[in-house]
Amino acid sequence: MTVGDCLRYWKEHYVDVALRPKTQALYTSTVLKHLEGAFSGRPIADITVKQWVDFFSKEEKENPRRARQLLSQARTAINWCIRRQVIDSSSIMRISPKDVGVRSETGSRVLTYSELARIWVAIERSRAATSNKLLHQMLMLWGARVSELRLAERKEFDLSEWVWTVPKEHSKMHNVIRRPIFEQMKPLLERAMETYDQILFPGNDVGQPITIAAANRYILRIREGMDIGYWRAHDFRRTIVTRLSEEGVAPHVTERMLGHELGGVMAVYNKHDWIEDQRKAYEIHADKLFWHIRKLSD
């Protein structure tokens, strides 16, 4: 099979079958438009790493962001063909997207509630383990760091006081973090507890937490199936603080929601968590998100 054969097979048997019309149009206008005619007439197995690098280097000169996007999408399509045993292998899989072009909007992305809703629905509709889906939906609502929740165990959740206490061993700054288990979060947490044992977000081994690599791969698959640009799970943190600040939530509350220590003298003397203020803020955030999710289904 040629590159074009491979991409057309992927489009016919996956993109046109499993993805939404907007996503189909996205792939048609990007990877199919720019790569379908690449290396015309040559078996994909005969294309070397160097030849792929030369191809993407030319794309990089024209548009660095698009070059990285094209490589990422091409790898997705070709890897799908490999998994389906349509082709045996391709040297393109030896090239990392980070080695081509530049990533868009790194470190500054603040998502809209409409974009958050679309991500939520994409997660809900994805074919993935319940633990992975719940992990990322709960991250969207809590604004926690990935590993704070990924490593969470049942004993951290107090269902009488409705508080989640992150032990210092799981926090980046080695501080204890307390967050409220607010109303909209309860069904998700209960589902995790009903489905799993002590480890609430397990990977292939139910006795071990899902790995950060597996969590990142999952978000990559979700992101590549959408047309909202580059984003990552960490952007949920920046988004929740920005959007709640717009709603008038005080900075000391949002800082506690993120698990940050307060600065100056307050860091030494003030250990208050503002749990009830956090709870109200989280409920505002969840209400706005779920309103946009319902709007999508109208």
pTM score, whole prediction: 0.65
d(CA 283, CA 278): 9
d(CA 212, CA 147): 7
Query: What was the pLDDT predicted at 263?
Result: 53
Query: What was the pLDDT predicted at 43?
Result: 95
Query: What was the pLDDT predicted at 133?
Result: 97
Positions of CATH 1.10.443.10 in the chain: 113-297
Name beta bridge partners: 180: 163
What's the fold here for domain 113-297? hpI Integrase; Chain A (1.10.443)
DSSP letter string, 264-276: HHHHHH-----HH
Strands 157-158 and 163-166: antiparallel
Identify the CA nearest to 95 among candidates 117, 68, 122: 68
Residues of the chain with pLDDT under 70: 101-107, 262-272
Q: Hey, CA dihedral for 173, 215, 120, 182, is it positive or negative?
A: negative
Residues 293, 286, 236: CA angle, nearest 5 degrees: 90
DSSP helix/strand/coil, 84: coil
Positions of CATH 1.10.150.130 in the chain: 3-99
Query: What was the pLDDT predicted at 21?
Result: 76
Identify the CA nearest to 31 among candidates 58, 68, 61: 68
Asked if 61 contacts 68 with a C-beta cutoff of 8 angstroms, the reply is no
CATH number for the domain whose boundaries are 3-99? 1.10.150.130
